[in-house]
Structure 1
């Protein structure tokens, strides 16, 4: 790790997850009780903090300004070389930019939504190291959307997935399960899964990015979530072969805990789904 603890992430890869909340102190108490996280102030002011687990940064928490109509939600961020170019690609392909690009600390970031309304962010610049010594991130990202293949084309074009650049992301599509797997340096960093229903009132079913945090045992996490004022779905098998539960914190932020970070799925074709620059 660099002396400052910051690195330049590989472009196209997930580099951070962030939760916006209306009560930062209460939210920190919840995640400390449920996931054992510790918190320190961030470098973006008094309304931000950085969560760590076993000494490793895992997530950011930010407090929503009073009066702003923003629901508590987890947002994944992807590393990019140029935030302005990425914002242009999002707009050209039917997505929307909600915030930015704007400068924060050591870089510039933006929050966007894809064509089906799934919210994500992107980041240009240096960031906290978001992986262990094996290159594994503390959270796994899964997009559940209307059409996995169509969504993969969208993200491949804006993030240069499957561009063929050395060290970049590669993608593979499993026709029979409508799953796209995104890999970087042999590590699966995200999956895109079809079947989301855009008009569903259930946020677990609507197109959105799901953040999965790895845990050793799901059952005590479910119990801790209930005790801390959250809700949790019953223990269920996860696509990766372990168990999982979808948890809602008291502010409505949804996340998944699972005993395996990488949902498995048969891969029948590997290579570019589609890419292109601006």
Structure 2
């Protein structure tokens, strides 16, 4: 069982949330697809909801912050000092869109863009420590960015988070880490697939998830196929937000 109840180390992808044009519809879509239950939605927090899988929080969902923006998933990186990390973002050529904002006792958030215009967030944990269940069906398993300039992106994220990089042989792709454990990946934009940061959910069956997304009005951007990491697919929900699913690595 992969669970965590304390704040994530700085630089780790620690939380994801979805900006929804149709909150009730998105709740139903992802709740059915991933087996989530919902809590929150209080007006004092802008109607923001937490999704849980088997009693532990796995993601957030709320109304779009700016009307007219496309629905999308946001990846948040853990920080011990949101203001200091925001300053490093600016110094490295990025843009801070939402300055450090305390959300009561819950924590402090930042929304930013890297120099190539890819959005991401920061989360300084308070009572809300981030993802509590991961690497299991119905929860987050990976975060990665598709960028037009991988070398430039690596320089930026190294300056902000101190990442070290491990290129993958034969691929325009590298994983990043702050210690021994890979935290996510960075690769080149692929035709027909989304640009920027994306989220990948573990599922019991990639093919089953593909069928469920299509039945729910979504699209398949990359059909399910086997890889060295497991069987995966790239999908789009019916509002146009992209995400991936990954079934456990195939048996040898």
- Fold agreement, TM-score > 0.5: yes
- Aligned pairs for 1:119-158 (under 5 A) are 119-126=119-126, 127-132=128-133, 138-158=140-160
Equivalent in the alignment of 1:257: 245
Q: Which SS does the other structure have where 1:128 is aligned?
A: coil
Partner of 2:55: 55
Indicate conservation of the 8 Å contact 1:83/1:110, yes or no.
Answer: yes
Aligned residue-pair number = 242
Which structure 2 residues correspond to residues 179-258 of structure 1 after superposition, within 5 A?
179-183=173-177, 186-193=180-187, 195-196=188-189, 202=192, 204-206=193-195, 208-233=196-221, 235-237=223-225, 239-258=227-246
Relative to structure 1, the CA distance from residue 13 to residue 42 in structure 2 (aligned partners, 3 Å threshold; closer, same or farther) is farther
Whether the 8 Å CA contact 1:240–1:260 is kept in 2: the answer is no
| Structure-2 change in CA distance of 1:45 and 1:131 (3 Å) | closer
1:159–1:176 Cα change, 3 Å: same
Stretches of structure 2 that go unaligned for 5 or more consecutive residues are none
Q: 1:151 to 1:240 in 2, by over 3 A?
A: farther
Contact 2:98 2:110 in 1 (8 A): yes
User: Deviation digits for residues 71-111 of structure 1, max 9, x if unmatched?
Assistant: 10000000112111111111122111111211113221111
**Matched residue, 2:32:** 33
CA contact (8 A) 1:149 1:178 kept: no
Whether the aligned pair in 2 keeps the contact of 1:235 and 1:243 (CA below 8 Å) is no
- How far has the Cα of 1:233 moved from its partner? 3.3
2:70 is aligned to: 71
CA distance 1:158–1:46, change in 2 (3 Å): closer
Match of 1:118 in 2: 118
Structure 1 residues 144 and 134: CA distance shift in structure 2, 3 A: closer
For 1:184 and 1:58, how far apart are their aligned partners in 2?
A: 22
**Aligned residue number for residue 108 of structure 1:** 108
CA apart distance, 1:176: 4.3
User: Cα gap change, 1:143/1:240 in structure 2, threshold over 3 Å: closer, same or farther?
Assistant: farther
SS for the counterpart of 2:183 is strand
TM-score (norm 1): 0.77
CA-CA distance at 1:188 after TM superposition? 2.2
Match for residue 12 of structure 1? 11
Q: How far did residue 46 of structure 1 move?
A: 5.6
- 3-state SS in 2 of match to 1:235: strand
Q: Secondary structure at the match of 1:10?
A: coil
